[in-house]
Structure 1
């Protein structure tokens, strides 16, 4: 019960901190999330460590998201 409450509180705090991000920060965050999910899936499916795959994929995705440009597109 305490773990569930802690996850909810931390999740809420993380989500509220994402409201005023720049375009680069948004790409970094989404790239990291997509990379972590993909890395965890690949790690689990190949018999390796899903945690290590998620860490490596998240780092790679965040780096790619931060280094890519938005090609002059602005909201």
Structure 2
């Protein structure tokens, strides 16, 4: 059951990334990561799991966000600048 709960937010993020802005990708990543972190955490660490999952998901959504151009993705460098390059 936990595997299903983990797969649903990841699948939703993958499907929705094609039509979203980079900011929306970050938000979707955070929400999906929080849900996944909550689902796979032990009963005593649900909040911590959700917070860690949200942070990891936000980073993944930011760096791996798709553009509307096939084969192109948004990336962000260490200085915070966003650019588009081949995936």
Name the TM tier (shorter chain).
Answer: 0.5 to 0.7
Select which of 30, 35, 38 maps to 2:36.
38
The structure having more radius of gyration, on CA atoms, is: 1
Higher RCO (C-alpha under 8 Å, 6+ residues apart)? 1
Which has more helix, going by share of residues?
A: 1
Deviations 1:23-71 (A, max 9, x none): 100000000000001101111xx34400000000000000000001415
In the alignment, structure 1 residue 54 sits paired with structure 2 residue 61: no
With the length of structure 1 as denominator, give the TM-score of the two structures. Answer: 0.59
Match of 2:69 in 1: 73
Q: Which runs of 5+ in 2 are unaligned?
A: 1-19, 71-87
After superposition, the CA RMSD in angstroms is: 2.1
With the length of structure 2 as denominator, give the TM-score of the two structures. Answer: 0.51
For 2:65 and 2:55, how far apart are their aligned partners in 1?
18
Match of 2:25 in 1: 27
How many residues of Structure 1 are paired with residues of Structure 2 in the alignment? Answer: 51
Offset at 1:73? 2.9
Which has more strand, going by share of residues?
A: 2
Q: Which runs of 5+ in 1 are unaligned?
A: 1-21
